[in-house]
Structure 1
Amino acid sequence: MDKFKEKLAALRDEVNAATLRCEESEAEVKRLKDDNLNKEHEITSLKNKLTFTETELEKAESKMAEAKLNLDEGETTKTVGEGLARKVSLLETELDSAERNLRETTEKLRQMDIKAEHFERKVQQLENERDTYERKVEDLTTKYNGIKIELEQTLASLEDL
């Protein structure tokens, strides 16, 4: 009887441990989903910034083209053109940086997706384990109750003798 109680306690401990692992995994999946959402927002932000930078680049390029046409007008126009050229150079540098950040963020997002899928599979596995343990506990409880009833009947029949 004591062995049975010990086994039952061990099974309960295993179920509790499995439930704890499941809850931890679910929390990790939620955190990863939140991270994934943040990365998606960051990608959207970077795309908007890239679009804005491209627009600014187009504006700067058109201004630079105008400045080149007006180059004959004098030194003042030359200074403006140089300023615009520097601006274009800075915008191109920013564009390169934004594109690099976008690639890095996309790679990180892909890696996060892979991790999220891994953890989702792990959660599913743990849920399956939990279900298996729950079925085992139910089976053992049923067997225990059956044996208990049988024992009571046997004791009652022994008392009748």
Structure 2
Amino acid sequence: MDRIKEKMASLRVEADESHAKVEELQGKVKTLEQETLQKEHEITSLTHKNSQLEGEVEKLENQIKDLKAGAEEGTTATTQNETLQRRLQLLEEEAEEADKNLRETNDKLRQTDVKAGHFERKVQALEQDRDQWEQKYEDMAKKYAAVQKELEDFQQEIGNM
């Protein structure tokens, strides 16, 4: 009986130790379950955060594409602006040249008008001179005719004598 008691006591000690181990292991299991649950929450949180970050990356990539397209348009606009500025400068130079030519032409026209006025006055003066000479010619022609008549009359008188 003592042996049975000893065996019982040893079995009780073993049962107590097993029970203590079971409780210890159950505590570890609970701790591990809590850690697992925590890790799962962390994984869920990180997964959610990852999807948000992926969405943000996609947005940023689209934004980069838009900005690159805008930069290309800006470069194109800058190139067009430079081209238009060069054209404007050429047109301004052509306009200045045309203005210069117009001024020169106007000066020449004024000079021509002055010369034309001068020549018109000369023509008028020459016409007046011509008219005077014509008048003198007519007067002289009349005098000549009168002198001729006088001469004929005188020759007739001499011829009659």
Query: Which TM-score band (shorter chain)?
Result: 0.5 to 0.7
For this pair of structures, how many residues does the alignment match?
A: 92
Distance change >3 Å, CA 142–CA 116, structure 1 → 2? same
Write the deviation string for residues 103-124 of structure 1: whole angstroms up to 9, x where unpaired: 1111111111100000000000
Corresponding letter in the other structure for 1:134: E
Pick the structure with greater CA Rg: 2
Match of 2:159 in 1: 159
Corresponding letter in the other structure for 2:107: E
What is the root-mean-square deviation in Å for CA atoms of aligned residues? 1.7
Corresponding letter in the other structure for 1:86: R
Distance change >3 Å, CA 123–CA 71, structure 1 → 2? farther
Match of 1:66 in 2: none
Match of 1:144 in 2: 144
Corresponding letter in the other structure for 1:82: E
- Structure 1: segments with no counterpart, 5+ residues: 1-69
Higher relative contact order, chain-length normalized (CA < 8 Å, sep 6+): 1
Distance of 1:159 and 1:113 partners within structure 2: 66
Give TM-score scaled by structure 2 length: 0.54
Match of 1:101 in 2: 101
Counterpart of 1:108 in 2: which secondary structure?
helix
- Structure 2: segments with no counterpart, 5+ residues: 1-69
Distance of 2:87 and 2:131 partners within structure 1: 63
Distance of 1:86 and 1:98 partners within structure 2: 18
Match of 1:89 in 2: 89
Corresponding letter in the other structure for 1:94: E
Corresponding letter in the other structure for 2:102: L
Cα displacement (A) at 1:71: 8.5
Flag as ranges the 4+ runs of structure 1 deviating above 2 A. 70-74
Cα displacement (A) at 1:74: 2.2
Distance of 2:71 and 2:132 partners within structure 1: 81
Give TM-score scaled by structure 1 length: 0.54
What percent of counterpart residues are identical?
48
Distance of 1:145 and 1:71 partners within structure 2: 106
